[in-house]
Amino acid sequence: MKIILLTLFVVFTLKAPVIHGNKSRIIGGFPTTINQYPFAAAIDVQTPTSKFFCGGTLHTQQFVITAGQCVDGAVLFTIHLGSISRSDPNRLTLSTSKYFLHPNYNPATLENDIALIQFRMPIEYTDSIKPIPYLALEPLPSSRRVSTIGWGQTSDASSQLPDEMTAVFVVSLNNNECQTVYGNQIVDTMVCVEGNYNEGACHGDTGGPLVDIYSRYFSVHVGVSSFVSGNGCESTDPSGYTRTYPYVAWIQNITSSE
């Protein structure tokens, strides 16, 4: 079984023998509000040869968590905060070129598919712009109901990204179960999830968060959207995320030293 990179490339598509990045948006999602997910970040990425879209998570006043594939080779990021609409003229828009790609990121296997983007200056929080309250303090267990959000494709038939962000609830799988679909491509730093029938991430959702919601004020960042099945977003195959827990020390080391 092949894994497909989630990142939406306008000019070209990466070819990987095992894993491909997401090019889609949430499949089977439902409308939400920015007050429910005030840490949601929409990211337009520019490389020397292409432009594409990713999701991200506001972590501090100066950092966004996203996928490694979203920053690898990038020269400019335009980040939008404070709205579920990509066309909202009142959203906060920032530009930056500074990022931190995990030093062990492997674009061929998508291992360590995590990165940080840094704003030029700290931002101010508002009712609609707030950081994710917590990062995972322990590995995400299997059979846990979590949510994922994004602006990715809603079907395999259309590559057009929606204007408004949607959310969907999914359930985490045991890695052994996920390996029955993808084989040894699935390692301990990854986690797979599946929704009812075919609900889940798609192209354009790459870099967006997997969130464990305990209450209105207690949301935990447990994963970063990384890949979908080569059979398509609308297949019943699980989608994959980089686990947050193994990288908390790396994240804190960078964000506290800058």
> pLDDT, tens digit, for every residue of 122-169?
999 999 999 999 999 999 999 999 999 999 776 566 567 878 898 999
The CATH label, of 3.40.50.10800, 2.60.40.10, 3.40.366.10, 2.40.10.120, for the domain at 1-258 is: 2.40.10.120
116, 255 contact by CB (below 8 A): yes
In order of 8, 240, 242, 244, 257, the CA distances from 207 in angstroms are 11, 11, 9, 12, 23
Residue 3 has what pLDDT?
62
78 burial via Cβ count (<10 Å: 0-12, 13-18, 19+): middle
Residue 96's closest CA among 113, 71, 69? 71
pLDDT in tens, 42-72: 999 999 999 999 999 999 999 999 999 999 9
More confident call, 202 vs 245: 245
56, 182 contact by CB (below 8 A): no
In order of 22, 47, 114, 192, 224, the CA distances from 242 in angstroms are 13, 23, 7, 9, 5
SS3 for 71?
helix
Q: Which phi-psi region, left, alpha or beta, contains residue 120 (left: φ > 0; alpha: ψ -120 to 50)?
A: alpha
Q: What is the mean pLDDT of residues 220-245?
A: 92
More confident call, 235 vs 242: 242
Amino acid at position 159, single letter: S
- pLDDT surpassing 80 at residue 12: no
Enclosing H/E stretch for 1: none
Q: What is the mean pLDDT of residues 66-82?
A: 98
pLDDT in tens, 201-225: 888 899 999 999 886 678 999 999 9
Residue 197 has what pLDDT?
67
pLDDT in tens, 97-112: 999 999 999 999 999 9
Residue 156 has what pLDDT?
63
Mean per-residue pLDDT of the chain: 87
213 burial via Cβ count (<10 Å: 0-12, 13-18, 19+): middle
More confident call, 200 vs 35: 35
Residue 8 has what pLDDT?
38
State percent of the chain over pLDDT 70.
Answer: 84
Q: What is the mean pLDDT of residues 185-192?
A: 97
- pLDDT surpassing 50 at residue 75: yes
Residue 117 has what pLDDT?
98
Residue 196 has what pLDDT?
77
Q: Residue 229's pLDDT band (boundaries 50, 70, 90)? A: confident
DSSP 247: G
d(CA 37, CA 47): 28
For 221, phi then psi, to 5°, come to -80, 115
pTM to 2 decimals?
0.89
Q: Which phi-psi region, left, alpha or beta, contains residue 132 (left: φ > 0; alpha: ψ -120 to 50)?
A: beta
d(CA 253, CA 258): 9
Q: Residue 7's pLDDT band (boundaries 50, 70, 90)? A: very low
